[in-house]
Chains A and B, each alone.
Chain A
Amino acid sequence: MPSIITAENLSKSYIIGHQKQNRYITLSGSMMHTARGVWQRIRHPLSPNRETIDLEEFWALKDVSFDIKQGERVGIIGRNGAGKSTLLKILSRITEPTSGRVRIKGHVASLLEVGTGFHPELTGRENIYLNGAILGMARQEIRKNFDEIVAFAEIENFLDTPVKRYSSGMYVRLAFAVAAHLEPEILIIDEVLAVGDIAFQKKCLGKMENVSRQGRTILFVSHNMGAIRQLCTRAAMLDHGQIVSTGAVDSVIDKYLKGESTSINGTATADPAKTLQSIAFIDYGSNNLTSVLAGSGGIFRVHYDAAKKTLSNVGVTIAIYDLYGIKAATLSTYHARNSPTIESLSGKGFIDCRMEEIPLTPGQYRVNVAFDWPNSHEGIVNGVLLTVLPSDYLGPSRMKAEETGFVLVKHKWII
């Protein structure tokens, strides 16, 4: 397979600091600034320019090189600020690299936002044409796909209503539908699948899979590991503007998730100013676990440090999400059977939440925890990454794990 995108030593720097503090620079401000600089130069021609000192160079991307072959679907992951969006912006030619070069063979369409260029006053019909043109579709192409777009967005009855009267769901569906019918050789997508309701998200993912099966090359940025896993053939992980890992999707995702969890669970990042310190998943013998058999038991141990300030009337809530970001369960002092209102919390210690059975479908889950008390709250996002492993909780099964749904319900058949 020939390479379709080749990037060599791609770097992008932004000047931050002075400019960042006043983004709406005024002409007079800038003139004063220049004048002061000139005056400094006249008075001290040899001293370093004082005006440049408070400008700081920030490298959003540094020496990034990669090679993408035709038909590959590459997922790009990384934490916020790792440089993912900058990379996509350079590849879509919205911004120029500071140095390095990219060679792209073929027509690129990029989808960095859903509904760019939608005009609220225009009707659905008019916006389909306008948005199609903005995304780079030819007029015949839009006309050809028009009915399909309308059907996909499920807005048949509202075609001639201005989109400003659409519900936000309809708006997003229409916007995505237009984008989903792009037919470029290379498609660049930035976190746009996280729109609409779950059913629609699944539909979008399905559509993207169809697109990719037609041999298109796809670059896909997402925080949704499930979507990356489903859609991509390869993945790359960015951190601080550099590619730190590439390869098979599963291994890169695992690396990413591990990095995420250690940086959150590790004592290094526990905020001493906060009462809520960390959360861990342990077995009944207090051993740390990262995985558990479906249907077996375990404990979430929440560590706190209330030595500086004593809290009263604390509520604790633990939320378990799957990798699609869908909440699978919440464990909360607000609905536990023995309903323990924590009247006061002082000193250091931990609170346990014990589960006798974890009836979750095998897969990976992220766990958030929050403390709340009158007038305030604290939280930890992705405090634990938990892998639920297949087991015979429901007895031997002939079904695939992904076919079973969210929860494992114990049941009996009466025939």
Chain B
Amino acid sequence: MNEIIIEPNKGIKLFWKELWSYRELFFFLVWKDILVRYKQTVIGIAWSVIRPLLTMIVLTIIFGKLAKLPSGNIPYPILVFAAMLPWQFFSNTLSTSSNSLISNQNMVSKIYFPRIILPTTAMVVSLIDFLISFLILVAMMIWYNFYPGWKIMALPLLMILATLTSLGAGYWISAMNVKYRDFRIVIPFIIQFGLYISPVGFSSNVVPEKWRLLYSLNPMVGVIDGFRWAISGNDVSLYLPGLVISICLSLLLFVYGAMFFYKTERNFADII
């Protein structure tokens, strides 16, 4: 029979064991989030295809046709879409995970489970959205007769990078949000602002060389550029120092976010 000892400051060893034993709850929460989203809608799951498609069209028109930013030989919609995928994933994860604790307030204060499940669930749901959007991208590439090279193999690694970045930020902000509701207000703003300072609607090449390193301090820049590089083949060169900075920052953010979450977790039920 398993024995539980409850005392102030539980150990980290227990944490991993527990996380594993609650995998079923994790699965159910993901399932709930997906199920709930398109309830009582007429076209249901089709929304998850229409939403990214519409955003892509808007961005293509604004940046490609009106602002006439250069895209090289790549069809502009693909250039935009390749960048939009990781950005959408990041922003969805960030906004849902940072609100995940307060939107499940009654669960946090009435039920015991490893709290880190909640923000992580938000990430998995965004990941599913990402996969749907990715299929749209594949369809677009077929439409434009555009074939990526071997570089596409780098995508999973870049996805890991995007995941770490968004989870790290999500853990940190969701934990802060429990105490300081300011973040609930700040997050939509960060996301809106982030879209313009990340190379989603344009290519990073338009950023002057001397600012490039500074620009890379935005961890999503490395990921987005990487995506574009991996998908669009040889026409785009990868800015390596930027990628290295991105990798370091993402890892740092993830470790810090998770640690912060773990440290503050014990007080959630008392202050939420």
Contacts and interface: CB of A to CB of B under 8 A. Distances in A.
Interface of A: 14, 24-28, 30, 89-108, 110, 112-113, 116-117, 119, 121-122, 126, 129-130, 133-136, 138-139, 162, 185
Given A92-B112, A104-B3, A105-B3, A27 B106 contact: no
A104 B36 CA distance: 36
Contacts, number: 109
Nearest to B4: A104
27 contacts: A25-B180, A27-B182, A30-B180, A89-B269, A90-B6, A93-B6, A94-B109, A95-B266, A96-B9, A101-B6, A101-B7, A102-B6, A103-B4, A104-B4, A105-B1, A105-B2, A106-B2, A110-B111, A116-B106, A117-B104, A121-B36, A126-B32, A130-B31, A133-B27, A133-B28, A138-B24, A162-B39
B50 interface: no
A24 B31 CA distance: 31
Nearest to A111: B110
B201 to A, nearest CB: 31
A26 B182 contact: yes
Contacts of B8: 96-99
Interface in B120-156: none
Nearest to A190: B110
B111 A24 contact: no
Contact of B28 (A93, A98, A134, A185): A134
Nearest to A23: B271
A100 B7 contact: yes
A94 B266 CA distance: 8
B8 to A, nearest CB: 5
A62 B25 CA distance: 34
Contacts of B4: 93, 102-105, 108
A289 B145 CA distance: 96
Contact of A26 (B2, B5, B181): B181
B24 to A, nearest CB: 6
B180 A134 contact: no
A117 B111 contact: yes
Interface in B56-94: none
Nearest to A113: B110
Nearest to B27: A133
A130 B28 contact: yes
A384 B17 CA distance: 53
Given A14-B270, A93-B112, A119-B32, A104 B39 contact: no
Given A95-B269, A122-B39, A130-B32, 9 more contacts: A14-B270, A25-B179, A27-B183, A97-B8, A105-B2, A110-B111, A117-B106, A121-B36, A135-B111
Nearest to A121: B39
A121 B40 contact: yes
Given A122-B35, A122-B39, A133-B25, A96 B6 contact: yes
Contacts of A135: 111
B6 A116 contact: no
B160 interface: no
Contact of B180 (A27, A95, A106, A162): A27
Instruction: Find the residue from B10, B27, B36 having the highest chain A CB count within 10 A.
Output: B36
A93 B15 CA distance: 13
Contact of B7 (A24, A102, A108): A102
A90 B112 CA distance: 10
B110 A126 contact: no
B19 to A, nearest CB: 14
B190 to A, nearest CB: 14
Given A25-B179, A134-B28, A122 B111 contact: no
Contacts of B195: none
Nearest to A133: B28
Taking residues whose C-beta sits less than 8 angstroms from the other chain, chain B's interface range is 35 or more
B107 interface: yes
A140 B4 CA distance: 24
Contact of B5 (A102, A106, A113): A102
A37 B114 CA distance: 35
A106 B27 CA distance: 24
B3 A103 contact: yes
Q: Which 6 A-B pairs have the closest CB atoms?
A: A133-B28, A101-B7, A102-B6, A93-B112, A121-B39, A27-B180
Given A24-B181, A135-B111, A94 B269 contact: yes
Contacts of A162: 39-40
Interface string B8-49: 111000000000000011011101100110011000000000
Nearest to A30: B180
A108 B5 CA distance: 12
A85 to B, nearest CB: 10
A25 to B, nearest CB: 7
A117 B108 CA distance: 10
A14 B271 CA distance: 10
Given A24-B181, A133-B28, A162-B39, A94 B7 contact: no
Given A26-B180, A97-B8, A106-B2, A116 B28 contact: no
A258 to B, nearest CB: 33
Contacts of B29: 133
B171 to A, nearest CB: 18
B2 A134 contact: no
Given A28-B182, A139-B24, A94 B6 contact: no
Contacts of A106: 1-2
Contacts of A100: 7
Given A27-B182, A121-B39, A133-B28, A91 B6 contact: yes
Contacts of B39: 121-122, 162
A134 B111 contact: yes
A298 B156 CA distance: 83
B102 to A, nearest CB: 11
A110 B28 contact: no
B153 to A, nearest CB: 36
A79 B27 CA distance: 40
Q: Which residue, of B2, B112, B266, has the highest number of chain A Cβ atoms within 10 A?
A: B112
